[in-house]
């Protein structure tokens, strides 16, 4: 059992292979979270609670209650009760006051991990993990708080969530119900986060943690391109291989808050959860509210170990469905090839050549419905455009299938255009406040999924479209933020529930899709990576990571995203040059070798490539097929970063160290450099490795301690893939 309770010291200790988390009771009442770090065998650190010295515990020294709460490392801090730092819970009672201070009641250990009703979450049985449930109660407010801490047996992961239950007969309102709180001493750590923008997702940022509040958030209704629902508190100078990392990652796809506060006593408190701005959840008597979960990871071996822990966790305990570990098809998508300007013949011309070039799946993107020749109409109706597709989706899919390829389709089910039959019939079905026309973005509105009839309507459109032809892949897109939050159907005192209800309905829709169309490969997308988060990964094993397909930009974006997510879920395509977003031209092979480090595909008109480029495609596809299993399942190591120079280098290696793939890309060439080499990771020191192309042999220890020579052709944007096999 990896969870224990030391009754004498009143300490709960949760152990993972290399880490422990400790929760403790002060005076049998107040639950603190007092430790998260390297694994401890002892529980002899109750003195951390300092109950016999200032700040005094409220029961023994009632006069000093404020100073107690002001510095107590509360496991689930509440508002308006003397803890003035960032809190997790704010309950407004019938009296209109924020008034809830739950105290410890009981605990139990559950084998495995309970599901989180209606929410995506990591999963595991009794062989994988155990869960500590601690119950706190405020008898006066009638509120019970259940805290869940799941400790994984093979991974340095604790999953944390909370359930707030109203045991009284009267309603209360949750104004803040966050998922996780982590208290740590400040020891000079830095804060590592991912930021960005449309076409620039996943940029790594590191900052000092000065006094005060630091962090990031989304109030866009989606997890966002701009701020990623992740933060890591890292020791100064943390590298891929060295340093302590304590990371939090949020399994949620809507607005979020992720903050670290350095307080007056140099204590750190990190909190993570649904963004409280605009959030207000009415909890009727007898009802409960389940927060999403936050994943906590500990590494004492730098960022690389954190990455591999998250990759393993998500591959084994989050991603589901037929494609969880099955090979992902090499696809061709027509978006950058044609945008809205296509017809059946044009698509088939591309598809015929793509089939000859050994591509496995043809994806028809936006523009197949209504009279949609630009991005300003017909969303919501989903009626095939007979002018463009005279034989419908079925006819097109049949012709694609006859070429030996599977067929996939794009939809944006959560949206409606003003110019649509759906909007004309139901203008009240969009998210909007009572007095104002909502802001338009990309000329479209967001459907109010909090209304059951709207959710059902969306399901009917998606499911009938999927049934209308042999569709094996769905790209589920979402191209705008939520604004003007208001629902015509929710009562006034439930308007603050809209954002979260929207996300819950989205999750229900995608769960239904998994249940009723288990053979369809779902790829989520949000104008690129605007909803690239662990929540969506629970439903779709791959996510389109950015609308920027330029190889150099993608190296940066994919570095940030692959720091958290397995390569098997990072949608990556080869596109045409000059690149449509940045206008840069890079070699065709470099584009392919960049897209290899994700779920590989093409997004261009293959017929317009030069004959030499076209000739390269079958070999590129074949190479990906050969590498696919290792890319999808191997241990990933980041070797060099464009944040430090001109070289991007990474590798995957199988668990036994028998095979490895190394990717090298130099962005700008520099004159007169000393011979470059890169030290590899994860290999067996006393094994011999053979480069499968040149047949050159390298001792493992040389690759690990001296490095692999970097021999790239002259010129900018040069890239190489090296496959090493143990002799
Ligand atoms: C945004 C997506 O990220 C693109 O790949 C493409 O599908 C367009 N939407 C289509 O409108």
Block mean pLDDT (10 aa), the chain, length 727: 96 98 94 97 86 69 84 96 96 97 98 97 98 98 98 98 98 98 97 98 98 97 98 98 98 98 96 98 98 98 98 98 93 98 98 98 98 96 98 98 98 97 98 95 97 98 98 98 98 98 98 98 98 98 98 98 98 98 98 98 98 98 97 97 97 97 97 92 98 98 98 96 98
Report the chain's terminal Cα–Cα distance, integer Å.
Answer: 41
DSSP helix/strand/coil, 15: strand
**Helix residue spans in 183-339 (DSSP H):** 302-317, 335-338
Could you give the dihedral angle defined by the CA atoms of residues 560, 565, 566 and 567, in that order, rounded to the nearest 10 degrees?
-40
Q: How far is CA 293 from CA 270, 285, 303, 565, in A?
A: 14, 24, 22, 17
CATH at 65: 2.70.98.60
Sign of CA dihedral 331, 333, 336, 338: positive
d(CA 360, CA 354): 8
Q: Do residues 534 and 585 both lie within one domain?
A: yes
Atom 10, ligand 1: which residue's CA is nearest?
Answer: 366
pLDDT of amino acid 534: 98
- Domain-located, residue 291: yes
pLDDT of residue 59: 79
Neighbours of 57 (CB within 10 A): 20
Task: Report the CATH number that the domain containing residue 711 is assigned in CATH.
Answer: 2.60.40.1180
CA of 366 to the centre of ligand 1 (A): 7
- The answer to the question of residue 322 being in a domain is no
253 CA to centre of ligand 1 in angstroms:
18
The model's pLDDT over 401-456, given as tens digits with 9 standing for 90+, comes to 999 999 999 999 999 999 999 999 999 999 999 999 999 999 999 999 999 999 99
Q: Is residue 350 part of a domain?
A: yes
What is the pTM assigned to this prediction?
A: 0.98
Whether 262 and 357 share a structural domain = no
Q: Which residue among 199, 334, 370, 410 is best mutated to probe the pocket of ligand 1, counting the most ligand atoms within 8 A of its Cβ?
A: 410
Pairing of strands 281-283, 143-152: unpaired
Q: Which atom of ligand 1 is nearest to the CA of 603?
A: 5
What is the longest distance spanned by two Cα atoms in the chain? 83
> 557 lies in a domain?
yes
722's tokens: 């090296």
Please report the pLDDT score of residue 52 as a whole number.
Answer: 55
Q: What total number of domains does the chain contain?
A: 3
Q: Which two tokens stand for residue 695?
A: 């047949």
Instruction: Note whether 71 and 100 are same-domain residues.
Output: yes
Last residue of a domain, one of 601, 633, 665: 633
Strand order in the sheet with 635-640: 635-640, 647-653, 659-666, 718-726, 688-691, 697-699
In 3D space, the residue among 650, 646, 641, 705 whose CA is nearest the CA of residue 673 turns out to be 646
Same domain as 695, residue 553: no
Q: Measure the CA–CA gap between 445 and 438, rounded to whole angstroms.
A: 7
Say how far apart CA 351 and CA 401 lie, in whole Å.
10
Cβ pair 606, 614 in contact under 8 A: yes
Classify residue 160 as exposed, middle or buried by CB count within 10 Å of its CB (0-12, 13-18, 19+): buried
Shortest-distance Cα residue to atom 3 of ligand 1: 527
Please identify which of the residues 477, 550, 605, 648 carries the catalytic annotation. Answer: 477
Q: How far is the CA of 556 from the centre of ligand 1 (A)?
A: 20
Of 547, 548, 605, 635, the catalytic one is 547
pLDDT at 713: 93
> Of 275, 292, 317, which closes a domain?
317
Please count the other Cβ atoms lying within 10 Å of the Cβ belonging to residue 205.
14
CA–CA separation, 721 and 727 (whole Å):
19
Pocket test for ligand 1, best of 527, 529, 554, 581 (most atoms within 8 A of CB): 527
Residue 605 lies in a domain: yes
C-alpha 461 to ligand 1 mean position (Å): 19
Question: What are the structure tokens assigned to 495, written together?
Answer: 């308007």
Distance CA 632, CA 316 (A): 12
> What is the rounded CA–CA span in Å between residue 413 and residue 261?
39
Q: Which residue, among 452, 359, 462, 453, has the nearest Cα to 404 in the 3D structure? A: 359
Nearest CA to ligand 1 atom 9: 527
At residue 51, the pLDDT reads 54
Q: Is 326 part of a structural domain of the chain?
A: no
381 included as an active-site residue: no
One domain, residues 649 and 572: no
Same domain, 612 and 498: yes
Task: Express as a percent the part of the chain with pLDDT over 90.
Answer: 95
Active site residue 375: no
Q: How far is the CA of 496 from the centre of ligand 1 (A)?
A: 30
Do β-strands 688-691 and 697-699 pair in parallel, antiparallel, or remain unpaired? antiparallel
Residues 161 and 54 in one domain: yes
- Token pair listed for 337: 């090839």
Q: How far apart are CA 658 and CA 650, in angstroms?
A: 17
Q: Report how far ligand 1's centroid is from the alpha carbon of 486 (Å).
A: 26
Q: The CATH number of the domain where 387 resides is what?
A: 3.20.20.70
H or E element: which one contains 398? helix 392-402
Nearest CA to ligand 1 atom 2: 527
Which atom in ligand 1 lies closest to the alpha carbon of residue 547? 3
Which segments of 167-279 are extended strands (E)?
A: 172-185, 190-195, 203-208, 212-218, 230-234, 245-250, 256-262, 267-274
Where does residue 446 fall: left (phi above 0), alpha (psi -120 to 50 degrees), or beta otherwise?
Answer: beta
Question: Range of 50's domain?
Answer: 3-317
Shared domain for 591 and 699, answered yes or no, is no
- Minimum-distance ligand 1 atom for the alpha carbon of 410: 7
Q: Ligand 1 pocket test: which of 334, 335, 443 has the largest number of ligand atoms within 8 Å of its C-beta?
A: 335
Q: Considering the domain boundaries, does residue 710 fall inside one? A: yes
623 is a domain residue:
yes
| Residue of 35, 703, 17 lying closest to 6 (CA atoms) | 35
What's the pLDDT tens digit per position in 535-592?
A: 999 999 999 999 999 999 999 999 999 999 999 999 999 999 999 999 999 999 999 9
Instruction: Give the pocket of ligand 1 (CB within 6 Å).
Output: 335, 365-366, 375, 410, 477, 479, 525, 527-528, 544, 547
Same structural domain for residues 415 and 558?
Answer: yes
Task: For residue 597, report the distance from its CA to the centre of ligand 1, in Å.
Answer: 21
Which of 474, 547, 550 to mutate for ligand 1's pocket (most ligand atoms within 8 Å of CB)?
A: 547
Q: Are residues 599 and 678 in the same domain?
A: no
Final residue of a structural domain among 633, 666, 685: 633
546 and 485 belong to one structural domain: yes
The verdict on 519 and 496 lying in the same domain is yes
Spatial distance between the Cα atoms of 33 and 48, rounded to a whole number of angstroms: 10
């Amino acid at each position: 059992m990896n969870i224990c309770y030391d009754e004498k010291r009143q300490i709960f200790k949760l152990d993972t292979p290399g880490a422990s988390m400790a929760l403790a009771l002060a005076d049998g009442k107040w639950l603190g979270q007092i430790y998260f770090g390297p694994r401890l065998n002892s529980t002899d650190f109750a003195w951390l609670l300092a109950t016999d010295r200032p700040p005094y515990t409220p029961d023994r020294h009632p006069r000093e209650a404020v100073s107690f709460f002001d510095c107590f490392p509360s496991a689930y801090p509440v508002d308006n009760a003397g803890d003035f730092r960032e809190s997790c819970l704010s309950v407004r009672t019938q009296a209109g006051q924020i008034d809830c201070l739950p105290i410890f009641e009981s605990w139990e250990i559950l084998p495995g991990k309970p599901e989180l009703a209606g929410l995506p979450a990591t999963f595991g049985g009794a062989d994988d993990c155990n869960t500590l449930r601690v119950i706190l109660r405020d008898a006066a407010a009638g509120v019970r708080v259940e805290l869940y801490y799941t400790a994984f047996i093979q991974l340095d992961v604790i999953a944390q969530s909370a359930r707030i239950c109203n045991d009284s007969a009267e309603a209360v309102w949750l104004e803040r119900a966050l998922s996780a709180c982590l208290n740590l001493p400040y020891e000079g750590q830095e804060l590592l986060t991912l930021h960005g923008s449309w076409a620039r997702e996943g940029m790594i940022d590191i900052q000092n943690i000065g006094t005060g509040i630091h962090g990031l958030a989304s109030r866009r209704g989606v997890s966002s391109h701009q701020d990623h629902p992740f933060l890591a508190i890292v020791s100064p100078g943390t590298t891929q291989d060295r340093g302590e990392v304590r990371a939090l990652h949020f399994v949620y796809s809507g607005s979020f808050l992720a903050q670290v506060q350095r307080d007056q006593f140099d204590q750190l408190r990190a909190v993570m959860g649904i963004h409280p701005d605009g959030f207000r959840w009415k909890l009727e008597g007898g009802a409960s509210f389940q927060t999403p979960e936050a994943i906590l990871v500990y590494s004492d071996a730098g960022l690389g170990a954190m990455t591999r822990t998250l990759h393993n966790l998500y591959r084994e305990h989050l991603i589901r469905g037929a494609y969880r570990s099955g090979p992902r098809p090499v696809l061709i998508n027509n978006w950058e090839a044609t945008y809205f300007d296509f017809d059946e013949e044009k698509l088939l011309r591309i598809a015929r050549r793509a089939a000859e070039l050994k591509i496995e799946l043809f994806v028809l993107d936006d523009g197949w419905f209504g009279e949609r020749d630009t991005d300003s109409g017909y969303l919501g109706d989903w009626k095939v455009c007979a002018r463009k597709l005279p034989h419908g989706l079925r006819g097109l899919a049949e012709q694609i299938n006859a070429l030996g390829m599977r067929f996939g389709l794009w939809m944006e089910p959560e949206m409606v255009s003003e110019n649509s039959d759906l909007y004309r019939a139901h203008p009240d079905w969009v998210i909007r406040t009572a007095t104002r026309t909502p802001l338009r973005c990309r000329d479209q509105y967001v459907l109010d999924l909090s209304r059951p009839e709207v959710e059902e309507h969306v399901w009917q459109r998606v499911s009938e479209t999927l049934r209308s032809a042999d569709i094996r892949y769905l790209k589920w897109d979402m191209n705008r933020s939520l604004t003007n939050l208001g629902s015509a159907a929710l009562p006034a005192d439930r308007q603050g529930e809209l954002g979260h209800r929207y996300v819950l309905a989205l999750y229900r829709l995608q769960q239904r899709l998994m249940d009723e169309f288990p053979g369809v490969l779902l790829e989520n997308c949000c104008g690129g990576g605007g909803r690239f988060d662990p929540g969506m990964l629970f439903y779709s094993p791959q996510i389109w990571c950015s609308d920027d397909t330029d190889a150099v930009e993608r190296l940066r974006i994919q570095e940030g995203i692959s720091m958290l997510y397995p390569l098997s879920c990072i949608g990556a395509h080869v596109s045409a040059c000059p690149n449509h977003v940045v206008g840069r031209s890079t070699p065709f092979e470099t584009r392919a070798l960049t897209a290899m480090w994700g779920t590989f595909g093409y997004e261009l008109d293959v017929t317009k490539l030069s004959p030499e480029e076209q000739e390269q495609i079958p070999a590129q596809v074949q190479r990906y097929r050969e590498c696919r299993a290792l890319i999808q399942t191997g241990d990933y190591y980041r070797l060099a970063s464009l944040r430090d120079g001109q070289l991007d280098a990474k590798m995957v290696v199988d668990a036994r160290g028998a095979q490895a793939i190394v990717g090298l890309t130099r962005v700008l060439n520099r004159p007169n450099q000393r011979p470059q080499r890169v030290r590899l990771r994860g290999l067996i020191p006393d094994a011999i490795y053979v480069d499968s192309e040149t047949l050159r042999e390298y001792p493992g220890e040389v690759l690990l301690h001296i490095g692999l020579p970097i021999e790239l052709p002259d010129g900018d944007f040069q890239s190489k893939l090296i496959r090493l096999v143990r002799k």
